[in-house]
Amino acid sequence: SELESMACGSADVSVDALRARTRYGEGVSASEPHVRYFWHALHAFSPAERAAFLRFVWGRSRLPAGTAAWKEQWFRIHTMEAAEPDSRLPVAHTCFFSMELPRYSSARMCHQRLLYAVTHCIDIDADTSGEGVANAQLPRLNSTGSGESDDHHHTRA
């Protein structure tokens, strides 16, 4: 409904709207093959898969309703440097609305790996992973000296 869209944003994630609110990390540009493969994959996703992607990178299933609702929020794409990028999954950091994208060798590989990550790597905290348990044992302090959570997806296969 119109009221739902105004309050919650569109149920279908607009790739064009997301692209307009995207910035690229140091040394990354929209013209690089792996970034072009990413946008191609996102366009090819079904509406449900795009919503899953948004949950994967941001912890929510809808984009903000209108430009003003974005405030200062930007989606950020960083390149994950890896010796064998086709064997890696993208890593999302929901608290920063960012993603580390490996330099996939093809659009097909990017589509496969991204779809796998957004449909199988859905835990927003690494609490139950080996890394999460180990990290929970370490004291974490932010600049004010209080505890700080580190919410992000770990996408190791």
When comparing pLDDT for 104 and 11, which is higher? 104
Q: Please indicate whether residue 95 is annotated as part of the active site.
A: yes
Cα(4)–Cα(8) distance, integer angstroms: 6
Kindly report the pTM of this predicted structure: 0.74
Cα(76)–Cα(116) distance, integer angstroms: 20
Question: Which one of the listed residues 8, 95, 110, 121 is annotated catalytic?
Answer: 95
Predicted confidence (pLDDT) per residue in 33-76, tens digit: 999 999 999 999 999 999 999 999 998 888 888 777 888 889 99
CA dihedral 57, 25, 38, 60 (to 10 degrees): 20
Burial grade of 25 (CB within 10 A; 0-12, 13-18, 19 or more): middle
